[in-house]
């Protein structure tokens, strides 16, 4: 135990010290050895808090190293310190935001595996054999003979066990990803709220959403010096027009424009609507938002702020469900905060945001025109995803804003909600098959219950279910309640397993079929992500 504690201290404080020192030196800048410039650099060094903290952590790690050497062999201690390679690489990726090539990742993994082999105790073969026998016994609790039927069952159990472990790893990644997003939110807020260029807000409308007037009015109440609201409808008799006219009467001081046009540029009617109102956008900063979103008075200032950085090409927002009036809407909202939010945070941590969400898309006109504007996504189902993807492909950074908007739920019935979920699942499977396959990691509760059933409801199976449920609750609480501030989720946290099992059923149903039902019409989703009417 003493060796383990000292080794842990050595690795953790060594990695923290090196990462903080690297950050501090990047803040100091490249050293010049000309006397005058060197003195200036030394002055910056001695006033840099990251460097002082880094040196302090390195001192603690060195003390741990000396303590280990006081009783352990040098040939044993030094190789073990190489485990720090992997912690340093992970820290460089997520804390220093360095680009880590595949070769560096593999090199780090190989070094770590080599260290693990070196540090194995004598007789480790027996330990491994005993652990394997115990695991085998858990997968074969009734000690059945290896018939072909049992061999098949054994493989199923092993695969389910692997999926449960993978789901637990994913939950750990989601927690770390949430912490990283929290840190980035603090950096965004440090940018301040004084960057306020004129903005055109584009809102495509079809029909009257739940509490539509209050949704629209929330954009009129922005604490922002100059902005334009442009609503778009495709039909003269759309009932939303009366709501927008009332809005114009109630907020005469705001520039509120309405475009009514049925001109089409592709299969996606929403994109055609947006393209029609884009012509009326008066400003060079554009904000595209769905009609069922509600925001606070500081929304515009906060989502526009990251665009003051030249490398940022687009900003998007997470959303939480609100005002659910049916059990179906409540279950969908639970999935948004407890599952979808964690997925977005994890994606951001692992590969960066390379997509956008329809809850908020903010960009500059020059970048938007550069990627082809609305015509390039006119035939795609997930138009918001592809707009963000094209901005990222153009070399710009897509930022996940620190702001979380409210999605005002429609009073959906259970069949309507399930159709919506099935549409989304099939679209993801056809257009992004790897991402769809990865969703199985978010259904650890379902896979652990299946494993429990195949194990004959053994104690080992129940233990795995308990651990998986606890991990799932922890992720939902941290990512959904604490980070996304979804108080409704806190009240109904106990429904997360129910929502997960429902989601798993939809995922299974999404494994087949290409046909979706959207806005009263049927479409076929192509592998490219485009849709064709049936």
**Residue 241: pLDDT band by 50, 70, 90 thresholds?**
very high
**Domain boundary residue, one of 80, 103, 119:** 119
pLDDT of residue 91: 72
Other beta carbons within 10 Å of 433: 11
242 and 354 in a single domain? The answer is: yes
**Residue 137: pLDDT band by 50, 70, 90 thresholds?**
low
**Within a domain: 287:** yes
**Residue 297 three-state SS:** coil
**Within a domain: 176:** no
Q: Which residues contact 92 (CB under 8 A, 6 or more apart)?
A: 19, 22, 98, 100
Q: Which residue has the higher pLDDT, 277 or 147?
A: 277
**Residue 407: pLDDT band by 50, 70, 90 thresholds?**
very high
115 and 203 in a single domain? The answer is: no
Listed residue (220, 231, 227) closest to 197, CA to CA: 227
**Within a domain: 41:** yes
Distance (Å, whole) CA 223 – CA 203 = 19
* Cβ 397 vs Cβ 362: under 8 Å: no
Is the confidence at residue 128, as pLDDT, over 60?
no
- 290-343 residue pLDDT tens: 999 999 999 999 999 999 999 999 999 999 999 888 888 899 999 999 999 999
| Adjacent-strand bridge partners of 521 | 518
Helix and strand numbers (H, E) in the chain are 22, 11
* Lookup: tokens for 403: 């702001």
Strand pairing category for 397-408 and 293-294: antiparallel
**Within a domain: 175:** no
346 and 470 in a single domain? The answer is: yes
Average pLDDT over residues 455-477: 89
115 and 199 in a single domain? The answer is: no
* Lookup: tokens for 303: 């989502």
**Within a domain: 378:** yes
pLDDT of residue 146: 59
Work out how many domains the chain is built from and give that number: 2
Residue indicated by tokens 């965004």: 188
Measure CA 241 to chain center.
35
114 and 192 in a single domain? The answer is: no
102 and 227 in a single domain? The answer is: no
pLDDT of residue 288: 96
**Residue 78: pLDDT band by 50, 70, 90 thresholds?**
low
Distance (Å, whole) CA 234 – CA 188 = 37
- 183-194 residue pLDDT tens: 888 888 888 889
Write out the DSSP string of 473-533: HHHIIIIIIIIS--HHHHHTGGGHHHHHHHHHHHHHHTTS--EEEETTEEEEE-TTSBEEE
**Domain boundary residue, one of 99, 119, 139:** 119
Listed residue (436, 468, 437) closest to 452, CA to CA: 468
Average pLDDT over residues 201-212: 90
* Lookup: tokens for 411: 């009073």
* Cβ 174 vs Cβ 342: under 8 Å: yes
Distance (Å, whole) CA 95 – CA 102 = 18
Q: Which residues contact 505 (CB under 8 A, 6 or more apart)?
A: none
**Residue 304: enclosing H or E segment and its boundaries?**
helix 299-304
pLDDT of residue 111: 73
Write out the DSSP string of 410-458: ----HHHHHHHHHHHHHHHHHH-HHHHHHGGGG-HHHHHHHHHHHTTS-
Listed residue (128, 89, 95, 127) closest to 111, CA to CA: 89
The residue segments making up the domain with residue 86 are 2-119
* Lookup: tokens for 280: 């009326």
**Within a domain: 520:** yes
Listed residue (261, 295, 253, 301) closest to 278, CA to CA: 261
Is the confidence at residue 500, as pLDDT, over 60?
yes
Write out the DSSP string of 69-91: HTTS-HHHHHHHHTTHHHHHHHH
**Domain boundary residue, one of 119, 136, 153:** 119
**Residue 284: pLDDT band by 50, 70, 90 thresholds?**
very high
214: left (phi over 0), alpha (psi -120 to 50) or beta: alpha
Percent of the chain with pLDDT over 90: 39
pTM: 0.77
Is the confidence at residue 145, as pLDDT, over 60?
no
**Within a domain: 300:** yes
* Cβ 523 vs Cβ 267: under 8 Å: yes
386 and 491 in a single domain? The answer is: yes
């Amino acid at each position: 135990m003493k060796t383990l504690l000292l080794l842990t201290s050595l690795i953790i404080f060594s990695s923290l010290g090196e990462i903080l020192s690297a950050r501090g030196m990047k803040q100091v800048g490249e050293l010049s050895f000309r006397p005058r410039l060197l003195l200036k650099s030394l002055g910056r060094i001695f006033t840099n808090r990251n460097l002082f903290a880094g040196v302090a952590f390195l001192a603690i790690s060195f003390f741990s190293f000396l303590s280990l050497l006081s009783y352990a062999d040098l040939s044993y201690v030094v190789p073990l310190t190489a485990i720090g390679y992997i912690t340093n690489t992970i820290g460089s990726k997520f804390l220093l935001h360095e680009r880590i090539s595949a070769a560096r990742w593999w090199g780090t993994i190989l070094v770590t595996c080599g260290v693990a082999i070196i540090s194995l105790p004598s007789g480790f073969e027996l330990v491994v054999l005993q652990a394997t026998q115990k695991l085998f016994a858990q997968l074969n609790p009734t000690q059945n003979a290896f018939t072909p039927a049992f061999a098949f069952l054994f493989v199923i159990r092993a695969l389910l066990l692997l999926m449960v472990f993978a789901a637990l790893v994913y939950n750990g990644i989601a927690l770390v990803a949430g912490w990283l997003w929290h840190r980035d939110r603090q950096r965004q807020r440090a940018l301040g709220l004084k960057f306020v260029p004129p903005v055109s807000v584009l809102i495509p409308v079809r029909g009257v959403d739940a509490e539509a007037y209050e949704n629209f009015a929330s954009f009129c109440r922005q604490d922002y010096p100059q902005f334009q609201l442009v609503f778009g409808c495709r039909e003269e008799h759309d009932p939303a027009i009366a709501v927008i006219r009332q809005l114009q009467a109630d907020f005469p001081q705001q520039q509120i424009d309405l475009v009514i046009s049925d001109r089409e540029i592709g299969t996606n009617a929403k994109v055609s609507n947006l393209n029609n109102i884009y012509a009326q956008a008066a400003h060079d900063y554009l904000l595209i938002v769905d009609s069922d979103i509600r925001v606070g008075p500081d929304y515009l200032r906060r989502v526009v702020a990251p665009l003051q950085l030249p490398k940022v090409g687009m900003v998007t927002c997470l959303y939480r469900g609100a005002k659910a009036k049916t059990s179906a809407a409540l279950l969908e909202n639970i999935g948004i905060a407890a599952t979808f939010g964690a997925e977005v945070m994890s994606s951001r941590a692992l590969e960066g945001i390379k997509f956008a969400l329809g809850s908020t898309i903010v960009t500059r006109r020059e970048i938007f025109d550069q990627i082809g504007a609305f015509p390039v996504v006119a035939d795609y189902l997930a138009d918001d995803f592809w707009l963000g993807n094209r901005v990222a492909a153009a070399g710009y950074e897509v930022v996940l804003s620190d702001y979380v908007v409210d999605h005002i739920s429609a009073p959906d019935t259970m069949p309507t909600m399930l159709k919506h979920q099935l549409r989304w699942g099939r679209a993801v499977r056809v257009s992004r098959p790897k991402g769809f396959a990865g969703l199985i990691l978010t259904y650890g509760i379902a896979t652990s219950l299946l494993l429990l059933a195949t194990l004959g409801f053994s104690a080992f199976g129940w233990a795995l279910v308990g651990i998986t449920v606890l991990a799932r609750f922890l992720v939902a609480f941290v990512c959904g309640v604490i980070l996304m501030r979804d108080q409704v989720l806190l009240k109904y946290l106990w429904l997360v397993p129910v929502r997960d099992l429902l989601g798993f059923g939809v995922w299974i149903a999404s494994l087949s079929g290409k046909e979706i039902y959207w806005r009263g019409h049927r479409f076929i989703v192509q592998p490219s992500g485009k849709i064709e009417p049936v």
